[in-house]
Amino acid sequence: MALVKLLAPALLSVCAAAQTHQLTPNIYWIEGGGGNSGVIVGSKGVIVIDVKTTTAGGKDLLDSIARITPKPVEAVIETHSDSDHIAGISAFPKGIEIIAHENNRKEQDVVIAAGRGTLIADHPPTRLISKNEETLTIDGVRFELLHWAPAHTSGDLVVYLPAEKIVFTGDIISPAQPDPIIHPEKNGSSNGWIETTTGMVALDSDRYVPGHGELQTKAAIQKGLADAEAKRAKIKELEAAGKTLDEIRTAVGDMPRGRIITFTEVVYRELVPGLPEKKP
């Protein structure tokens, strides 16, 4: 396994200036500098969802929060272990609560042990989620942290605020990409992505903050799910007919994504295990 891929950023610019969007009087999302971040202002402090890519990006995020409220950051929730969502934690004060799925922590530990986790080593997750659903009330705000199956990664958490009917999806949803983004090196899976996205569209919400890109509606998520299900079924049919990966790519109109494995290849490798690992 190429360890460098364990915290691989998405194929999106992380240099764009941060933009703050307000969803409710106390809930915001901030784009730019890495993956989208959520900012929830509680009664005494702030809960942040995902924290950008670099120390500088984390500082910019904290500056953006300071323009929203003088209240301190009390907790961070990580949707998954990709560096463009967690490495900005190096800018945050030590001692804050960091909430993540237990598999997210395992993925970070691998990178830290290999000497590649400089920005995250001093800020490991402090509260691990092991259940498929856990309800937390933090500073007066109710959160439902949901994990249906390994999807984008093995340690995905979907963050649902039921009172406000808002969902933070992490990179399970990334509308700038034509197909789901799945990291098989982190044990993500196409079936798990479908199961997870099916669970998300069943939530009482019409506002989904994706890992990257613009706010999504339930209808948009449902369309992406239907498209992915249809594509997976077509790939499965073609593989059963003896088609090669290259033939399947041509048949389904795959778009190249550089060193990042495509959804088509993810599905094919799930159907034909034991293929040599794709090199970055």
CATH number (domain holding residue 239): 3.60.15.10
Rounded CA-CA distance 131/134 in Å is 6
235 found inside a domain: yes
246 found inside a domain: yes
Q: What share of the chain in percent tops pLDDT 90?
A: 86
Rg (CA), the chain: 18
46 found inside a domain: yes
14 found inside a domain: yes
168 found inside a domain: yes
Per-residue model confidence (pLDDT) at position 277: 66
Rounded CA-CA distance 190/180 in Å is 8
Per-residue model confidence (pLDDT) at position 8: 39
52 found inside a domain: yes
By residue range, what is the domain housing residue 39? 3-271
- pLDDT, greater one: 129 or 10: 129
pLDDT tens sequence across 176-228 = 888 999 999 999 999 999 999 999 999 999 999 999 999 999 999 999 999 99
Rounded CA-CA distance 174/121 in Å is 27
278 found inside a domain: no
Average pLDDT (35-57) is: 98
Q: Does the global pTM surpass 0.75?
A: yes
Average pLDDT (221-238) is: 98
**Predicted confidence band at 14 (pLDDT cuts at 50, 70, 90)?**
very low
279 found inside a domain: no
Total domains, the chain: 1
